[in-house]
Amino acid sequence: MNFIDEAYLEIKAGDGGSGASSFRREKYIPFGGPDGGDGGKGGDIYFKVNTNINTLIDFQNKKNFTAKNGEKGSGKNKFGSAGIDLVIEVPLGTVIYDEITGEEIVDCNDKSINYLIAKGGDGGLGNAKFKSSTNQSPRKSTPGFEGESKSIKLELKSLADVGLVGFPNAGKSTFLNTVSSAKPKIGNYPFTTLRPHLGTIKGDASSYVIADIPGLIEGASDGAGLGIKFLKHISRTGILLIFVDLLSLDNINPVEQIKLLKKELDTFKDNLTQKVSWVVCNKIDLIDQGKIDAIRKQIQTSMNISSSDIYFISAATGKGTKSLLKLLETEVIEYRKN
Ligand SMILES: Nc1nc2c(ncn2[C@@H]2O[C@H](COP(=O)(O)OP(=O)(O)OP(=O)(O)O)[C@@H](O)[C@H]2O)c(=O)[nH]1
Ligand SMILES: [Mg+2]
């Protein structure tokens, strides 16, 4: 699955309909007054959040969006009907930019708002509007106004509901391989993953997306390793899974790994650490149960993390992953409600 997080669109709101120039015609009244109605307003273009969409993939094929024009006015003071508004649905967190100036137009972060991005043109005036004491039979009517047109860029910071963070080699990509159809490369060396990968999980009640990003190391916020720039891809996920490598290449113990990772996350400006974050200790196939219990205790006491937020799995064998996925699904559904 591609990591699509940009789309370029041409949008054009509807033009206003033109006003009519017409005169009342009645039997025995040769010159009735002006009765040309106004044109209808062109349709607006709105953007609206749909929380069931989480990629911009639909915009890769369709790039032009036009709202309907207003209709012309007509005689007997009939106003033209307004063009229907066009509502374009986007994922939560889509940021809309003016493609020409690069300026941000709006951040679609509230699902209760219809964001007006291109305004339809007003309808023209019919000749009935131009009647005055000095001009009883005006022929003048005006054309409708043009609807706004814009070249815009959509950008989605995060497509994922769940983000995986951890030291290189912790098994993040192995986990994504096991639980989804995504196939990021796996390797027994640091920095196997060089760009974010997404995998979709089909749960019982809902589908959700997990993002695997390149590993973090101590000093990443100062540019060590691949740095922290990839955190922007998970800065809006509802849940972070902090992956702990139970068999760390550098022999960094679990508590120390969590501390170092949290420190790097803290430096990221989007308050990553305020999200729901669970600790996932991976590679339990390589250690015995007694050790698992001891590690759970250590994390609980020294990090003040509730035991229900600590998971033990083997990404390689799949042990423990099923129940973790089930709980993730429930949590994602909960998070999407807010
Ligand atoms: N025994 C065992 N090995 C695992 C498990 N999960 C991952 N590994 C191995 O750990 C190594 C690293 O796995 P990756 O999935 O590439 O790790 P990563 O966290 O994606 O690493 P980066 O992409 O470098 O950040 C590979 O050799 C995996 O086969 C596990 O549950 N048990
Ligand atoms: Mg990887």
- 3-14 residue pLDDT tens: 446 889 999 999
Question: Which numeric CATH code is attached to 162-337?
Answer: 3.40.50.300
Q: What does the pLDDT read at residue 162?
A: 93
Q: How far is the centre of ligand 2, averaged over its atoms, from the C-alpha of 177 (Å)?
A: 10
Positive or negative, the CA dihedral 223, 226, 227, 229 is positive
* Core vs surface per residue 206-217: b (16+ CB within 10 A) or e: eebbbbbbbbbb
Q: What does the pLDDT read at residue 194?
A: 87
Positive or negative, the CA dihedral 27, 30, 36, 37 is negative
Report the DSSP pairing between strands 64-66 and 104-108. unpaired
pLDDT tens digit sequence for 203-215:
888 878 899 988 9
- DSSP E strands, 147-296: 149-156, 162-166, 197-202, 207-212, 239-245, 276-282
Ligand 1 site, residue 187, Cβ cutoff 6 A: yes
pLDDT tens digit sequence for 165-180:
999 999 999 999 999 8
Parts of the chain belonging to CATH 3.40.50.300: 162-337
Structure tokens at 213: 């990003």
pLDDT tier at 338 (50, 70, 90 boundaries)? confident
Q: In the predicted model, what is the mean pLDDT of residues 288-305?
A: 94
Ligand 1 site, residue 214, Cβ cutoff 6 A: yes
Question: Which numeric CATH code is attached to 1-156?
Answer: 2.70.210.12
Main-chain dihedrals φ then ψ at residue 64, nearest 5 degrees? -110, 130
Parts of the chain belonging to CATH 2.70.210.12: 1-156
Q: What value, to the nearest 5°, has the Cα angle with vertex 261 and ends 256 and 263?
A: 95
What is the model's pTM?
0.64
Ligand 1 site, residue 215, Cβ cutoff 6 A: yes
Pocket test for ligand 1, best of 175, 183, 192 (most atoms within 8 A of CB): 192
Q: How far is the centre of ligand 2, averaged over its atoms, from the C-alpha of 192 (Å)?
A: 5
Residue 1 has pLDDT above 50, yes or no: no
* Closest residue CA from atom 6 of ligand 1: 171
